[in-house]
Amino acid sequence: MKSLPQRVTMDWDFWTIGNEPWKCILDHSVGDYPKEACGILLCPRARPWNITDAYPTRNATSEDAATRYLVDPLEFLQVQKWAEQRELDICGFYHSHPDHPAVPSEYDRQYAWEGYLYLIFSVKDGVFEESKAWRWDAVEERFKEVFSPTTI
Amino acid sequence: MLHFSEEQVQRYSRHIILPEVGVDGQEKLLSSRVLIAGMGGLGSPAALYLAAAGIGTFGLVDFDVVELSNLQRQVIHTTEDLGKPKVKSAEETIKAINPDATVHQYRQRITSETIADIITDYDLVLDGTDNFPTRFLLNDACLLTGKILVYGAVLRFDGQVSVFAPNQGPCYRCFIPEMPPPGAVPSCQQGGILGVLPGVIGILQATEAIKLLIGVGEPLIGRLLLFDALSMEINEVKLRRDPNCPACGERSNLIELRDYEDLCQLAV
C-alpha cells in the first residue's frame, strides 16, 4: 500500500501554516460539506514544518465520500512535479470530517504514512468547528497530535 | 577591570574554577545586562539562574500581576506574591538570591513605541513571552537594534530553544514566517502545560545566554533544540536563514517597528 516515495521525513513535532493555505483548506472543507474534502500540504524544503501551500484534490474514493477520502494518485504525482518546480516538498495531507471531530478515524489509521503531517478539519452542520494536526508513529502504531509552538 | 569582593569570590567560586569561565568570564557576567521579556513560565527559571550566575543588570518586562494559576510553573513568584506585579515580585526574588544585581522593572506591554528604546540598553534579550504578535515584534526590534534573541517556547509536553543572532543566522521569522491563523493553535485559554517543562526550557535559555555573554561553547544559532518531556527525547533541527524572510531577508522592508494583531484574541 505504501508504495509512493516519501519526500519528507517528519523529525519534528510541530507545525505552522500560512493564512493562504489555511483559508484554502477551510473553504474547501466547508465547500465540500457534507462530503470529505481532501488535499495535499506543501512546505519549503528549508522549512518543512511550515505549510505554505495547500493543493485541493479530488476525493477519488469509491466508497461513501461523506466518510471516506482518497487523494487521487495521479493528482499526487502532478502535485509532486508542480512542487519540485517551486522547490517545495509534499509534507502531508489534509481532509475534512463532516460532523465528526478532528480526530483520526480507524480508516485514517489504516492508511497512514509515517513522515507526513495529517491535518483534519472538522466541519459541523456546514460550519468549521476545529482543526488538529497529527503524525503517524509507526513504532507505537498510533497517531500523535502535533502542535504549533507557543507558550503558556 | 572588576575587583571581586571576598564574598563574590566565594559566591562564584564554582564558576571561577571552571577553565571556560574563570575570573574573566565571571567579570563578563557581572558586567552583563540581560532583558527578560515576560516573567512567566520561561522568564521565571531563567531569571533565577541568571541571578545566581551573577548577571549584573536585569531588565524585566511584564505588565501582568501574579495569579494563582501561575504558581504551578512560574517559580520566581510565591503564594505571598498573589496580586503583585510580576516584575516587582521577580525583582524581590532576584535580589534575595543576589543582592548585587541591579533590576529595572518595565511594568508594561511590549509595544512598537517603547521596545526598541528599552532593548538598546541591554546586551541580549531572552524571550519569555507567550504569544505570536509579541514574538514577532520582539524579533523585529532585535533585528533593528542588532541584539541577540534567545528563544524558548513550550506547550503541553514539548519545548523548543534557539538563538536568533542578527547577521549571524536565521531570525524568528525565518523559522515561523507567518502567525498561525485562528483555529490553527489551541486558544490561549485551552492550552495546557506540564509545570516543569518551562523550567527545563527556561534554564536552557539561561544556559545559552551565559554562553553567549562569556563567549564559550556553541550557541544554538541556526539550530532548534526540541525537547519532548514524555519520551525524554532531545532532537535538533537545522534552521537556515531564509533569503525571502519578511523580517531579515533580502527584500525585507523592515525599517520601523509595528504592532502585530493578536489573532488568538480575535479567535476568542
Fold for domain A22-55+71-146? Answer: Cytidine Deaminase; domain 2 (3.40.140)
Buried b / exposed e along A64-93 (16+ C-beta atoms within 10 A): ebbbbbbbeeebbeebbebbeeeebbbbbb
Kindly state the DSSP code that residue A14 receives in the 8-state scheme. B
What average pLDDT does this structure show over B81-98?
98
A4 vs A52: which has the higher pLDDT: A52
- Which chain A residues touch B178 with a CB distance below 8 Å? 16-19
A130 vs B163: which has the higher pLDDT: B163
Q: For chains A and B, what is the number of CB pairs under 8 angstroms? A: 87
- Which chain A residues touch B187 with a CB distance below 8 Å? none
Q: Are B26 and B71 in contact (CB under 8 A)?
A: no
Per-residue pLDDT tens over the stretch A30-61: 999 999 999 999 999 888 888 999 999 999 99
- Please tell me the distance from the alpha carbon of residue B218 to that of residue B210, in angstroms, as a whole number: 11
pLDDT band at A27 (very low <50, low <70, confident <90, very high): very high
What average pLDDT does this structure show over B133-146?
95
- Please tell me the distance from the alpha carbon of residue B9 to that of residue B18, in angstroms, as a whole number: 13
Contact call for B183 and A130, based on CB within 8 A: yes
Nearest by CB to B155, which of A18, A128, A147?
A147
Give the pLDDT of residue A14. 79
**B47 Cβ contact partners less than 8 Å away, ≥ 6 residues apart:** B36, B39, B58, B60, B76, B90, B93, B94
**B99 Cβ contact partners less than 8 Å away, ≥ 6 residues apart:** none
Nearest by CB to B240, which of A22, A46, A128?
A46
Q: Which residue of A has its CA nearest to B193?
A: A152
Dihedral angle over CA of A138, A141, A142, A146, nearest 10: -20
For chain B, what percent of residues have pLDDT higher than 90? Answer: 75
Per-residue pLDDT tens over the stretch B188-231: 445 688 999 999 999 999 999 999 999 999 999 999 999 989 98
Per-residue pLDDT tens over the stretch B232-260: 989 888 898 988 898 999 888 788 898 88
Q: Which residue of B has its CA nearest to A148?
A: B185
Q: Are A17 and A50 in contact (CB under 8 A)?
A: yes
- Which chain A residues touch B40 with a CB distance below 8 Å? 151
Nearest by CB to A12, which of B185, B191, B226?
B226
B181 has a pLDDT exceeding 70? yes
Output the average pLDDT for chain B: 92
- Please tell me the distance from the alpha carbon of residue A38 to that of residue A76, in angstroms, as a whole number: 11
Q: Is B143 helix (H, G, I), strand (E, B) or coil?
A: helix
Nearest by CB to B153, which of A19, A130, A149?
A149
pLDDT band at A22 (very low <50, low <70, confident <90, very high): very high
Q: Are A117 and A17 in contact (CB under 8 A)?
A: no
Residue recorded with cell 545586562: B33
List beta partners, residue A35: none
Global pTM value? 0.87
Contact call for B178 and A16, based on CB within 8 A: yes
Q: What are the residue boundaries of the structural domains of chain A, listed by start?
A: 22-55+71-146
Give the pLDDT of residue B263. 55
Per-residue pLDDT tens over the stretch A109-123: 998 998 899 999 999
Give the pLDDT of residue B253. 79
Domains recognised in chain B with CATH numbers: 32-267 (3.40.50.720)
Mutate to test the interface with A, among B127, B134, B151, B155 (most CBs of A within 10 A): B155
Give the pLDDT of residue B268. 36
Instruction: Specify the amino acid at residue B123.
Output: D
Least confident of A76-85, B115-124, B187-196, B239-248: B187-196
- Please tell me the distance from the alpha carbon of residue B193 to that of residue B72, in angstroms, as a whole number: 9
**Helix and strand tally (H, E) in chain A?**
3, 8
CB count within 10 Å of CB B233 equals: 10
What average pLDDT does this structure show over A67-84?
93
Instruction: Specify the amino acid at residue B142.
Output: C
Contact call for A150 and B174, based on CB within 8 A: no
Contact call for B41 and A130, based on CB within 8 A: no
Output the average pLDDT for chain A: 87
